[in-house]
Structure 1
């Protein structure tokens, strides 16, 4: 794997993707690689401000259309201030969620808005990851894990199991749509087993 790669982790809430993103970053740093670990929404001061708007509060606080605009604004700031400069400097960027999450959560959660998401992404973002690692998880297990965190950013968990089930189906469909970029990893296995599968998949995909 060469430097300057853009790797994203995706999956439903509670799938363990954040843990796996951190473990991969630690493993690559131990190999001497220059790694930037970041997340969405967030990753830059402006994007972090938008994060609080979209992840806290009542589930019906925003319409799906408004969320698409908010997430894209956060992503644009993140891209300008952190992702693009880091990649240009030859660093490996590992991001917990990116545009695929918007394609799923806003594109499918309350009507079929995927076309709007893709058009806005093409206009304002214009970049896809080099590799997306989709951590696949049973929706009921993932939702129980997510709710067990007892944090303040639970707006999407509050939509319930139906949303998580539709999101899992949507993510798997996305993997079939983009097989060269999106690789599916079983997240129901123990953490260390999943981490080993992540490293093996990375080595194979970006060799």
Structure 2
């Protein structure tokens, strides 16, 4: 059995009005996909994700938290892709790599519809709202001279999973290379945060 192909990418937002998600069009088959690619020798998944997003979108990015892992079959071989939440610079500063025909920036629902592969659509349906929520918490802060307080988010109506992952193949919300028992997953941190807010 051959080892799985390891890859990394980004769920990339660009702000300047409504947040828009990056999707890229492959030159060979014309498929619309999330920006991602294989790791180079000695490269960490996070570094590969940042490099691949720059090459495929032409935008410098700020890398934020790990979002999840998508595993699927491609060409008769398993592929494992780790994704991070990223925020793109407002202007494209680098040319697209030769394998990419175009990059488009779309609202979440349109980005989901545009993706050619069902497993990427399912992945973005589940992590997209979490990415938007996290991006809302990292918006630039006002000047210290004019502090502003945002109202706390409403507590969820009931406790339970944030998203049921029934149609996404092998979605894991844990940092690659970290044991689950030593590091809380993004989902566990969100649940803990919600529970703490609902008791306050």
Bigger fraction of residues in strand: 2
Question: What TM-score do you get using the length of structure 1 for normalisation?
Answer: 0.28
